[in-house]
Amino acid sequence: MPPRSWKHSANWKRISTEFDLPLALSPTPRGADLRQAIAEIAYGTTASYGALARAIGSSPRAIGQACARNPFPIIVPCHRILGAGGALGAYSAGEGPITKSRLLDHERPPGGLL
């Protein structure tokens, strides 16, 4: 957990793959579930829209919609969500799919065949 004051502790963690930030609640109820489900996706791994949809009892379209309208597209790892068959899909933040690809490549463990 982060210390009370971020200002005076740059050394809390050099590298953190988890966030527990007190983000403002999603404007939409489903959005909260979405973010929670997405947050379950571990660093370096990915999930498909369909899988997430099944996880929260929704539909792939809804996932995409909520993600696209996601207020925190980078905090919430929307980039770990791929389409069926590992298709890259789309991305609404940064440079779009390019950013998504970069993020995924960045998180991809070295030597791994993910």
Residues that bind DNA (CB under 7 A): 26-31, 48-50, 58-70, 73, 78-79, 81, 83-84, 87, 89-93
Comparing CB distances to DNA, the nearer of 25 and 42 is: 25
DSSP β-bridge partners for residue 64? none
Set 78, 82, 103, 104: catalytic member: 78
DSSP string, 43-63: TT--EEHHHHHHHHT--HHHH
70-73 contacts, C-beta under 8 A, 24 or more apart: 70/31, 70/34, 70/35, 71/23, 71/24, 71/26, 71/27, 72/23, 72/35
**Between residues 39 and 93, which has the closer beta carbon with respect to DNA?**
93
CB of 56 to DNA, least distance (A): 9
User: 42 vs 75, which CB is nearer to DNA?
Assistant: 75
Our answer to whether residue 78 is catalytic in this structure is yes
Minimum separation from the CB atom of position 46 to DNA (A) = 11
- Tell me the helices (H) and strands (E) count for the chain, helix number first: 4, 2
Residue 54 CB, nearest approach to DNA (Å): 10
Q: Which residues are part of the catalytic machinery?
A: 78
